[in-house]
Every structure is written in C-alpha cells, then in structure tokens.
A = this chain, B = another copy of it.
Amino acid sequence: MSEAPIRTVFFVSDGTGITAETLGHSLLAQFPEGKFRQVRAPFIDNIDKAIDCAAHIREATAADGIRPIVFSTLVNETTVAALHKADALFLDLFDRFIGPLEAELGQRSTHAVGRFHGIADSMNYKNRIEAINFAMAHDDGVSNVGELAEADVVLVGVSRSGKTPTSLYLAMQFGVKAANYPLIPEDFERNKLPGELHKYRDKLFGLTIAPERLSQIRQERRPNSRYASLENCRYEIDSAQKLMRRENIRWLESTTKSIEEISATILQTVRVDRPGF
C-alpha cells in the first residue's frame, strides 16, 4: 500500500476564517489517516487578495504534487470566481447552503462580507465579553459569595479538575456566566460545601477526574509535592465525590472529555435563564 501524500488544506474566508476552520476540522477528523498541512487565509475580502490566494493554492499544488482542499466561506461572487481560477477541491459553505436557505425563507441573503457577527449577534457578543470578565473575576473562589447570585453556573471540584478552562469556554462560546469554586481539604474535614454555596445548589455543577490523571497534572505544577501525590489525589477525589453525592450535586468525570464536551453537557443539565437558552 502506498503512503497517502500530504495534502495542503486552505481555510479561506472574507472574515476571520473561524467558520471555515471549524467546518474543515470536523470533516477532516473523519479521515484520521490523512496527512494535512493547514493554511489559514482570513480577510480575503477583495479581488486582489483572492488572486493572491489562488497563487498560494497553485504553489501548494506544485509543492505537494497534488491539488489542495479548500474550505471556503466567501460570499462575494467575483472574489469566489477569482479564487476558483486555481485548481483545488473547493468545499464552499455558502455555495451549498445559501440557495436552499433563501428558498426556504423566501428571502434573498445579503451576501454581506464578514458577517460572522450579524446584527442578531451583537447582544450575544456583549454577553460573551461580560461573561469572560465574570469568569476571570470569579475564578478559583470569590471573596463575596453574594456575587454568585449573578452566575449562571458555579463549577465545583478539587484543584486542577478542569474548572477554569471550562468556565472560560462557557463564557467565550456561549456567553454563560460561570464562576468556579475549589473544594479543598478543609471542606472535606467539615464534610460540607464551602461558604454559602448551598444557597446556589441549582447552579452547582461538579467536575471530577481520575486520581491518576489528576496526580499527573499536579506533578507538572508542583513536582514531588504532597499536593500532587497519588495518595492525596485519591483522598481528595474520593472525598469530593462523597460530598457531591451527599449534597445531591450533578457532576461528571472530566478525564477523557474535552472542554467542549464538558461545556455542552453542563448546558444540557443546568438551566440558564436567558434568551437563547
């Protein structure tokens, strides 16, 4: 069997290219044996830039000995035409989907360039920025537990169980205000939730993690510490799970899950009282 050649993959957009890249990554993940070299081409918003981009596509063909794959979200027809002068497999988001949508909605699309954030999204955008600021201000416990009234979600779990990246992702992607609150050995000794967390039980969501993995993560931070020892990690995780079970807190195991998966699961479980949820 001959080895598959390396393919260059372009993500071409008149805006940031985030959509083209997200689309492309999902599709390429279905071909785990493929070898891909990725090139981002954002802000291709006029014909000169499209001509340049077509030249890069031709160069990649020459270098690889095979034509590239191009995920594109260009909306302007002249720009598209200039790009298509190069040879490639073009997988064009708007080309495939805008037609059926126009027919279904009985409306012409605006063909507006770089409309990743449409008018409908501007409220969402403000929510997202506010939520990021909130997550930053309420990372790893809060001095004034009353501020948790404003939170949509409060993540609890031992140190390094994944609370911080998850709360930031919830904010960034969904505009959800997530605070996080560590469970520490003193909480286990008292065997109750810290501070006034019990007041916000509906918003609580627990993260747990395999002790072996936790120990590994903590070793990178504080090598050979008691904090990172497998024995201590086992004790903390075991105590945290007992506490969460007794307090009836919903939780999940983060060990083999991505922050995207953890976040999507939380949003299915915790009710967010805001439009859009």
Other-chain residue from B38, B97, B133, B168 in contact with A276 (beta carbon distance below 8 A): B38
B121, A29: Cβ atoms under 8 Å? Answer: yes
B118, A173: Cβ atoms under 8 Å? Answer: no
For the complex, give the distance between the alpha carbons of A162 and B16 in Å: 17
Whether A22 contacts B25 in the complex (CB less than 8 A), given A38-B276, A105-B4, A268-B42, comes out as: no
Whether A129 contacts B4 in the complex (CB less than 8 A), given A27-B97, A116-B29, comes out as: no
Interface size class of A (residues with CB under 8 A): 35 or more
A32, B264: Cβ atoms under 8 Å? Answer: no
A4, B107: Cβ atoms under 8 Å? Answer: yes
In the complex, chain B residues whose CB is within 8 Å of the CB of A276: 38
For the complex, give the distance between the alpha carbons of A99 and B32 in Å: 16
- Tell me the chain A residues, 152-175 only, with Cβ under 8 Å from chain B: 164-165, 168-169, 172-173
For the complex, give the distance between the alpha carbons of A73 and B25 in Å: 12
Surface stretch bound by B, among A77-85, A88-96, A187-195, A205-213: A88-96
Chain A: residues with CB nearer than 8 A to chain B? 4, 7, 15-19, 22-23, 25-34, 36, 38, 40, 42-43, 69, 73, 75, 89, 91, 93-94, 96-98, 100-101, 104-107, 109-112, 114-121, 125, 129, 132-133, 136, 139, 164-165, 168-169, 172-173, 258-261, 263-265, 267-268, 276
Going nearest first, the 6 A-B pairs with the smallest beta carbon separation are: A29-B118, A30-B109, A16-B264, A29-B115, A19-B26, A16-B260
